[in-house]
């Protein structure tokens, strides 16, 4: 059998993983040091107007991320329509106009029908308010 010469060795695989992981960790302190010196700013837009609860949740999330990053990450959270209309959000992110966004995946059903699975599950007879609750 030809496969006998190519036996899998757990020791060899473990040794390779340790050497590779060690090499990766050797470069890690330099990456941290370089990134600690600069503030990264991200421009993100929601698909919600300013006074909508979902936009307010997005704003709170942005503040929490900035706080957890210790000021090294600044997120500029914008309401719907600030840069692009709500339904153009994904195109703006794809083209690099925006760095990120917050909306309902079902909004992009026209781009990919599978997105509706992540934003509009079965309502089981509930109205919108009960389903949201």
Q: What tens digit of pLDDT does each residue of 92-113 get?
A: 998 999 999 988 777 777 777 7
C-alpha–C-alpha distance, residues 46 and 86, integer Å: 7
CA-CA distance, 30 to 32, in Å (whole number)? 5
Instruction: Look at residue 58 and give its three-state secondary structure.
Output: helix
Over range 10-35, report the average pLDDT: 62
Query: Is pLDDT above 70 for 90?
Result: yes
Confidence of residue 4 (pLDDT cuts 50, 70, 90): low
* Chain mean pLDDT for the chain: 78
Which of 26-40, 56-70, 82-96 shows the lowest mean pLDDT across its residues? 26-40
Report pLDDT for 119. 67
Q: What is the mean pLDDT of residues 32-52?
A: 81
100 CB-side CA count, 13 A: 10
Give the Å distances, CA to CA, from 27 to 18, 20, 23, 46, 60: 15, 11, 7, 36, 34
* All domains of the chain in start order, with CATH: 2-34 (no CATH), 39-132 (3.40.190.170)
């Amino acid at each position: 059998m030809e496969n006998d010469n190519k036996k899998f060795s757990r020791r060899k695989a473990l040794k390779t993983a340790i050497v590779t992981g060690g090499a990766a960790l050797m470069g890690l302190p330099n990456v941290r040091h370089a990134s600690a010196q600069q503030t990264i700013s991200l421009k993100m837009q929601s698909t919600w107007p300013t006074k909508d609860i979902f936009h307010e949740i997005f704003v709170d999330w942005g503040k929490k991320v900035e706080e957890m990053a210790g000021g090294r990450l600044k997120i500029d959270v914008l309401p719907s329509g600030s840069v692009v209309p709500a339904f153009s959000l994904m195109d703006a992110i794809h083209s690099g106009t925006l760095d990120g966004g917050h909306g309902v995946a079902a909004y992009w059903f026209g781009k990919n029908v599978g997105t509706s699975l992540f934003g509009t599950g079965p309502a089981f007879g509930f109205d919108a308010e009960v389903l949201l609750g």
